[in-house]
Amino acid sequence: MKRFAFALVALSLSPSIAAASSQSALVGQADKALSDDRIAWDFVEGITTEVGPRMAGTEAEARGRAWAVNWLKAHGFANVAIEPFDMQTWVRGEERASVTAPFAQPMRITALGRSASTGPDGIEAEVIHFPSYADLKDASPGSLAGKIAFISHDMKPTQDGSGYGFAGPARWTGPSLASSKGAIATVIRSVGTENHRTPHTGGTTFAEGVTPIPAGAISNPDADNLERIFARAGDRPVRVKLVLTPRDMGTTQSGNVVGEIVGRNPSLPPVLLACHLDSWDLGTGAVDDGAGCAIIAAAALHVARAGQPLRTIRVLFAGAEETGLWGSAAYAAAHKDEPMAVGLESDFGADRIWRFDSNFRQSNPSLHTKIARAVARFGVANGMQEATGGADLNIVREQKSAIVDLQQDGTHYFDLHHTPDDTLDKIDPLQLRQNVAVWTQVVAILADEAGPIKGTNLEEDVTPR
């Protein structure tokens, strides 16, 4: 009878003992990632060294996809595949700018994605200075006929990257707005926070019915100097010559790369981890977004090493994010009938994670609190904002599923964003490991959540970084 009673007690304890052991393994794996993870570094060092910049729709991006497929297979991911899609591809050409009057001198410029060409001979015209995007909006229709618009408002560094929302419209739609008022070209101050002569590229969009015009960003020091030229010119017109010769390549193929850590119950909706594999062509795409792909892949592997998770963990290396979220849209369309449990994206560099946000603080408070407590030991605060997800999580927003944002410190991100300085040496290995540790802990909890996670996020526009 005593032996039977002992057996009953042992049976009643065994599930909790197993759970404790599993939890201990997961905590240990996250802590190990913090101290000696080399997986993420191996990924980002490898892709930036062996492939380099991965401009959307080009042969270089295709080499990046092949490299990523080989890496995922070599590290034991299952169901690794390329999901192709077609896109409209733009590539840059020659890029020169100079003030021709009243104080002749060169400037450093780079074309904005989707910019039209000046032709090989370039264009020269008077420049009209707009200290802000709002000032350009106030300009009268037709007032810029034959002129070049210069938008000079600047961006301030912020931990959460909120300065991008203020400065970004100058790039996103400033050239279209200027064209609608008659401008033959647009020059903007770079949307960035450093003072190097490294202009920031990035996409621009022309509204339907608006003629695309040449559009470029000059470096912040050159923008400062151009403002001083206007101040000293008095009544004399300021003239600039631009040579920008980008080309539209028509329809080419890009693709998303996917891979999985298969869960114990593959019928449950998966945990989707996203990043984007393409990059602008000026740097090597280390910070934006090689580091993000490295972080999510390393986290998935660390979770797997602690034991098979309940839910499948799927990584999505989206293609062609930088030039218009092509991969995100293609993935959402291809998998629209496949429910996703929760989505997370890493696309804000490699500096430390400082805040955790979800969109289920109210709808699933116990899960939110569990995650918040688990990541506190890594110096991550429990955020009060509603998570909206990264640019490549369209499918999760469309399904109104759960979203987690692991907010990275963006104070210096826009020093490097879309510039030639986006290179491997700018990544701090210690900061990278902290990201992997936090992601490992969070993904482990989500992947072992048996019940619905109950996201409440509404579909909304998300601007790519």
* In contact, 106 and 126? CB cutoff 8 Å: no
Q: How far apart are CA 99 and CA 9, in angstroms?
A: 84
- Please give the share of the chain, as a percent, with pLDDT higher than 90: 89
Strand 381-386 to strand 313-318: parallel, antiparallel, or no bridges (unpaired)?
Answer: unpaired
At residue 98 the predicted structure's pLDDT band, cuts being 50, 70 and 90, is very high
Q: φ, ψ for residue 244 (rounded to 5)?
A: -130, 120
At residue 455 the predicted structure's pLDDT band, cuts being 50, 70 and 90, is confident
Burial environment of residue 135 by CB neighbours within 10 A (0 to 12, 13 to 18, 19 or more): middle
Condensed to tens digits (0 to 9), the pLDDT of residues 37-87 reads 799 999 999 999 999 999 999 999 999 999 999 999 999 999 999 999 999
Measured over the CA atoms of residue 247, residue 248, residue 253 and residue 254, the dihedral's sign is positive
**Whole-number pLDDT of residue 31:** 84
Six-digit token pair at 406?
């692991």
Q: What is the mean pLDDT of residues 339-354?
A: 98
Residue 5: pLDDT above 60?
no
Condensed to tens digits (0 to 9), the pLDDT of residues 130-165 reads 999 999 999 999 999 999 999 999 999 999 999 999
Sheet holding 78-91, edge to edge: 78-91, 247-261, 313-318, 271-276, 342-345, 402-408, 353-358, 381-386
Nearest to 151 by CA among 367, 12, 166: 166
**Whole-number pLDDT of residue 465:** 60
Residue 16: pLDDT above 90?
no
Q: Are the folds of 28-88+250-447 and 93-245 the same?
A: no
Domain parsing of the chain, residue ranges = 28-88+250-447, 93-245
**Whole-number pLDDT of residue 2:** 31
**Whole-number pLDDT of residue 464:** 54
Measured over the CA atoms of residue 117, residue 121, residue 125 and residue 129, the dihedral's sign is positive
Name the strand (E) or helix (H) holding 218.
strand 215-218
DSSP secondary structure string, 417-438?
TTSTT-SGGG--HHHHHHHHHH
Residue 197: pLDDT above 70?
yes
Q: What is the mean pLDDT of residues 353-369?
A: 97
At residue 454 the predicted structure's pLDDT band, cuts being 50, 70 and 90, is confident
* pTM, rounded to two decimals: 0.93
**Whole-number pLDDT of residue 217:** 98
28-88+250-447 folds as: Aminopeptidase (3.40.630)
**Whole-number pLDDT of residue 25:** 74
Rg of the chain in Å (alpha carbons): 24
Condensed to tens digits (0 to 9), the pLDDT of residues 108-126 reads 999 999 999 999 999 999 9
93-245 folds as: Glucose Oxidase; domain 1 (3.50.30)
Measured over the CA atoms of residue 362, residue 374, residue 443 and residue 34, the dihedral's sign is positive
**Whole-number pLDDT of residue 457:** 53
What are all long-range contacts of 30-34, with beta carbons under 8 Å and residues at least 24 apart? 30/302, 30/437, 30/438, 30/440, 30/441, 30/444, 31/437, 32/302, 33/298, 33/299, 33/302, 33/433, 33/436, 33/437, 33/440, 34/378, 34/433, 34/434, 34/436, 34/437
The residue length of the chain stands at: 465
At residue 251 the predicted structure's pLDDT band, cuts being 50, 70 and 90, is very high
Q: Which residues contact 400 (CB under 8 A, 6 or more apart)?
A: 455, 456, 457, 458, 459
Min mean pLDDT across 17-21, 144-148, 159-163, 337-341 is at 17-21
